Structures are given as C-alpha cells and as structure tokens.
Copies of this chain bind each other. A is one copy, B any other.
C-alpha cells in the first residue's frame, strides 16, 4: 500500500497504510472528493460512494462529465475526510484539527455485469443506511441500464489520522489560555417524513437503530 504516491510525507507518524484503518475510515464517511484532470484542469467533485471488499464504487448518470472522464481510464485521486475535533492550542500557530482521512490513487473501471452492478447499488444504499436496501423498491433493469457504475481498486491508498491534545511550544505551557479539544461528530436530527408519506407510516426498525447510534 505504501508507494511513492501514497507515502505520507509531512508528519510521517500520522500515516497509516493498513487496510483495517483505511476501510474503517471509508465505511464511516458518506462523501468522497474525486479528483481528476480534464484538459489540464484539476476538478474535485464531491460524490457518494460504497465499498465492497477492496473496491470503492461511485455511480451516477451516464451524462455525468466526471463519470465519462473517469471511464477513459485516466488517473484519479479519491479523498475521504472525517472531522473529529477542533484542537485549540495556547498559541495561534498550533491550532489544528483532529481528523481521519484516506487518499486513494488509481484508475476506475466500468462495471457492466448486471449482478456486479446490483451489488454496487446494494453497497451504495446500505452505505447511506445499514438495512435500507431490503426496505426499498429495488432497481429494475431499466434503472440499472440508466446508471453508470465505476469501481476503483483500494490498493494504492493511505490514511492520515490526527488525534489527541494540542502540542504547544514548551515555553507556552505556562500561559493562562484554555487549551484542549472540542470533539465534533455528525449527529442525526429528528427524521423529517416526506410530505407525501401516508400519515400513519411508522419509522421502521433499521432507521430507529441508526438514530439510536447516531444521536447524542
């Protein structure tokens, strides 16, 4: 996993190359930032994703410029970043953030086999919320045809993680300023039912489980 491209160069102690760390960050995020080059111009596009084993899937309309470009086998860089806290130091210069990020290099491959496409769509849906796939109307042949799915191998990847308190200069520890970490996390609010939903539709078990795990 550690190659010339993926090696964490600045502050190497923050670098991680084991799959467990990389997968756990990918599985905890919702949105990746896909970087690619069109006519020399870098583009960074946020998009949803799903993971199955050592492959990261992205998808969208066949008309998407991003998907049309990536299908040509050009180099891609996909980055997922999770923010975990604001690191408040005694000195302005040592302010930082606690975060987990993954940077992944490679080229995308068009997923065309029907069963594999179905598997990717399962991954997208259950990545949004575990258990969701089984409680929806699943894609029909026409929908599958109208969706482009691309796969990126999770091979050349690295994670970068910052945790813990601020690191101040020795001389600054005697200053009176409060220092520490303000933890941040994504929390759910109360579900907002679709106005077109029948009024007596109960919130199903898989959503209740999700809410109980992701609200303070």
Which residues of chain B have C-beta atoms less than 8 A from A172's C-beta?
137
Alpha-carbon separation in the docked complex, A126 to B200 (Å) = 47
Say whether A201 faces chain B, with CB atoms less than 8 Å apart.
yes
Distance of A61 Cα from B76 Cα, bound (Å): 26
- Interface positions, chain A 116-132, Cβ under 8 Å from B, are 121, 124-125, 128-129, 132
Q: Beyond A93-B147, A182-B129, A185-B187, is A83–B31 a contact (Cβ under 8 Å)?
A: yes
Q: Are A136 and B177 neighbours in the complex by a CB distance under 8 Å? A: yes
Is A28 positioned at the interface, with any CB of B under 8 Å from its CB? Answer: no
Q: Is the CB of B173 within 8 A of A181?
A: no
Contact A180 B192 (CB under 8 A): yes
**Set of chain B residues within 8 Å of A44, measured between Cβ atoms:** 33-35, 44, 77-79, 103
Contact of A184 among B90, B143, B188, B202 (CB under 8 A): B188
Chain A interface size, as a band, is 35 or more
Kindly report how many copies of this chain are found in the complex they form together.
2
How far is it, in angstroms, between the C-alpha of A196 and the C-alpha of B181 when the chains are bound? 12
Chain A at the B interface: mostly helix, strand, loop or mixed?
mixed
Docked-complex contact A121 and B92, CB < 8 angstroms: yes
Q: Is A12 an interface residue (CB 8 A)?
A: no
Whether the pair A77, B128 counts as a contact (CB closer than 8 A) is: no
Nearest 9 Cβ contacts at the A-B interface: A183-B189, A35-B44, A46-B81, A35-B42, A33-B33, A44-B79, A187-B187, A179-B194, A180-B193
Interface residues of A (CB under 8 A from B): 5, 9-10, 30-31, 33-37, 40-46, 48, 60-61, 63-65, 75-79, 81, 83, 85-86, 88-93, 95-97, 99, 101, 103, 105, 121, 124-125, 128-129, 132-133, 135-139, 143, 147, 165-166, 172-173, 175-197, 201-204, 207, 210-211, 215-216
- List 23 contacting pairs A-B, 8 Å CB cutoff, sorted by A: A10-B61, A33-B44, A33-B81, A37-B37, A41-B75, A42-B76, A43-B103, A88-B128, A91-B137, A91-B139, A92-B125, A92-B132, A92-B133, A93-B147, A129-B182, A165-B194, A178-B203, A180-B191, A181-B191, A184-B187, A185-B189, A187-B216, A216-B216
